[in-house]
Amino acid sequence: MAFLIEGYNLDNEISLDMFYPESFRSLDELIVIHEENLIVVKEIWSGKMCDTFFNLHTLERIDPFKRYNQENGKAFIEKIDDLTVVTTVSVEKETMAEYLFGAVFKNGQQIFKSFDVRYFSLPTLSTYEKYLNVQSNLKVIQKNRENFFKGFNDLSFEEKVSKLRQIFRTNFRTNCEIGYYPPEYFLPQELFESLDNDSEFRTALLEVLRLEESATNEPASVVFDNLIKHYVYCKET
C-alpha cells in the first residue's frame, strides 16, 4: 500500500509527490474522487495494479480491511425501461484493486456483460452506456452486412468471384499469420449465411477455391466440401 510522507498536510496541493510506495512497488497515478471524499493512489507491483485509499478531507489512510468489507460485493442496480442493469464491485484481496463487473438483463436473461477498473484517471462509461455502444455498433455492422449482400446480389458472376477472392486473400493471409490455417474458415459465419441466399454464391465460392489451390495446397472440391460442412454444422448448432 502507499503511505503519506510526513510533513504534508491539507495546506499542500494534493499530488502524487505526497506519497511513497510500499517496498517493491512503484507509484503509478493519483485520482481524486470529490463526490466520494476519496484519494486513490495506484501502485504497480509485479505487473499488477494496487489501490490505496485516503480520506480527501483528513488525508488519513483508509483501513484496507474495512474498505474490503464495505465495498466488495456491493451492487448498484438500475431499472431502465425493460432492462435491469447491475454493476457489482469486486475487490482483489492481494492488491486491494477494485473492479466493476457489469451485466444487463432482459426478461431474466443476461444479454450483456462488461468489466472495468473502478477508478481510472480517464472518463469511463457506465455499464448501460457500454451496452448502448455495443448495440449501436451491432446495428452498424448489420446495416453494412445488409448493404454488402445487396451489392453482392447485384454483381455479375465474374464480379462475385472477384469480390470473394479479395475476401479470401485478406482473411486467409491474416489467419495464416496467427497460425490458423484451415482455408475453409475464411468467411465469418454471419457473412456466409447472408451470401448463401444468393443463387450463384456457392458456384462463385468453388471457383475462388479453384483459383486459389496454390495457396491452400488442396483440391478446390475438398476445401469446398469441408467449408460447407463447417458452416452448415455451425448454423445447426
Q: Mean pLDDT in the chain?
A: 88
pLDDT for residue 237 is more than 70: no
Average pLDDT value for residue range 147-174 = 86
- 8 A C-beta contact, residue 208 and residue 168: yes
Q: What's the pLDDT at 186? A: 80
Q: What's the pLDDT at 190? A: 79
The DSSP output letter for 12 is S
Q: What's the pLDDT at 61? A: 95
Q: Is the pTM of this model over 0.85?
A: no
Average pLDDT value for residue range 56-74 = 96
pLDDT for residue 148 is more than 80: no
Tell me which of 12 and 14 has the higher pLDDT.
14
pLDDT for residue 121 is more than 80: yes
Average pLDDT value for residue range 111-117 = 93
pLDDT for residue 70 is more than 90: yes
Q: What's the pLDDT at 87? A: 98
Per-position b or e across 35-66, b if 16+ CB within 10 A of its CB: eeebbbbbbebeeebbbbbbebeebebbebee
* Confidence grade of residue 236 (pLDDT, cut at 50, 70, 90): low
Cβ burial of 167 (10 Å; 0-12, 13-18, 19+) is middle
The DSSP output letter for 118 is S
Q: What's the pLDDT at 215? A: 84
What one-letter code names the amino acid at 184? Answer: E
> 122 φ, ψ to 5°?
-95, 155
| CA dist., res. 77 & res. 122, Å (int) | 24
pLDDT for residue 48 is more than 90: yes
Lowest mean pLDDT among 56-60, 130-134, 190-194: 190-194
Cα→Cα distances 53→66, 95, 166, Å: 11, 12, 54
The full set of domains in the chain, from first to last, is 3-62 (no CATH), 71-125 (2.20.25), 155-236 (no CATH)
The cell for 92 is 482483489
Q: What's the pLDDT at 235? A: 62
Average pLDDT value for residue range 111-140 = 90
Q: What's the pLDDT at 123? A: 82
pLDDT for residue 187 is more than 60: yes
